Structure 1
Amino acid sequence: MMNDDDSVMEPPQIVAPLEHPLWPEIKAKLKTVYDPEIPVNIYELGLIYKVELGDGNNAKVEMSLTAPGCPVAGEMPGMVQDAVRAVDGIGDVEVELVWDPTWDPSRMADTAKLQLNMY
């Protein structure tokens, strides 16, 4: 259960296994990944659309970028894969870059909007 302070740090549209025991550490690792051009982590930017955990704690992550022409488009999925793979107890990690739905600022957590002066 989130308290009011935690809710502003959550992207409003993420689909994730919130009750899974590995989720808190996965989320923490995702928050260590930054787009070098934006001073907010990709989790709070709302670039992580979906995280699934299957048999053997294998993870599948669907993510997007702020724009298709993002200069780190080729590197970002690998950065996310490395971050999730660092979670103790995780199995294989697959990261898929998706463009539907298109990312927009409504996907950001309130903390990201505050950091980027978007309020």
Structure 2
Amino acid sequence: MSDATAAAQAADSAGSAIPQDELDRLTDDIIAALKTVYDPEIPVDIYELGLVYRIDISDDRDIAIDMTLTAPGCPVAGEMPGWVENAVGAVPGVGRVDVNMVFDPPWDQSRMSDEARVALDMW
């Protein structure tokens, strides 16, 4: 997923009470935080892997994230949401962070960014 796609998903500026410049900063900072979380079996961050499906920033600056795993039986399924919550929760200006694990649609390699494809030599 590109940064522009995530930014579009992260906020609907017409419906937000947050000033656009602050919304843009929050979005960029949240994406940067997500890029610090790695799938321990794959040397690529969860954002570039395409595991983050939705980022929603409420007017109260609470964050809701829908994400998935590369496979439902992933050994860190119970831990990964906490890693994401901690990373995003450390972003200045962020309120409560809720991470929802979803498996619909299922993840597949087409969701990876070009950066991830290069890192994993998956062209």
Q: TM-score range by the shorter chain?
A: 0.7 to 0.9
Q: CA deviation at 1:11?
A: 7.0
**Residue matched to 2:29:** 25
More displaced, 13-22 or 96-105? 13-22
Q: Which runs of 5+ in 1 are unaligned?
A: 1-8
CA deviations 1:75-102 (Å, max 9, x no partner) are: 0001000011000000010000000000
Larger RCO (CA within 8 A; separation ≥ 6):
1
What are the within-5 Å matches in structure 2 for residues 42-57 of structure 1? 42-57=46-61
Instruction: Indicate if the aligned counterparts of 1:13 and 1:46 stay in contact, CA closer than 8 A.
Output: no
Would you tell me which structure has more helix in proportion to its own residues?
A: 2
Question: What amino acid is aligned across from residue 91 of structure 1 in structure 2?
Answer: G
CA RMSD across the alignment: 1.9
Q: Kindly indicate whether residue 57 of structure 2 is the aligned counterpart of residue 63 of structure 1.
A: no
In 2 relative to 1, CA 78–70 (structure 1 residues): closer, same or farther, beyond 3 Å? Answer: same
Q: Which runs of 5+ in 2 are unaligned?
A: 13-19
The SS at the match of 2:43 is coil
Runs of 4+ in 1 over 3 A off after TM superposition: 11-14
Question: What amino acid is aligned across from residue 16 of structure 1 in structure 2?
Answer: A
What are the within-5 Å matches in structure 2 for residues 1-119 of structure 1? 10=2, 14=6, 15-17=9-11, 20=23, 21-119=25-123
TM-score, L = length of structure 1: 0.87
The percent identity for this pair of structures is 54
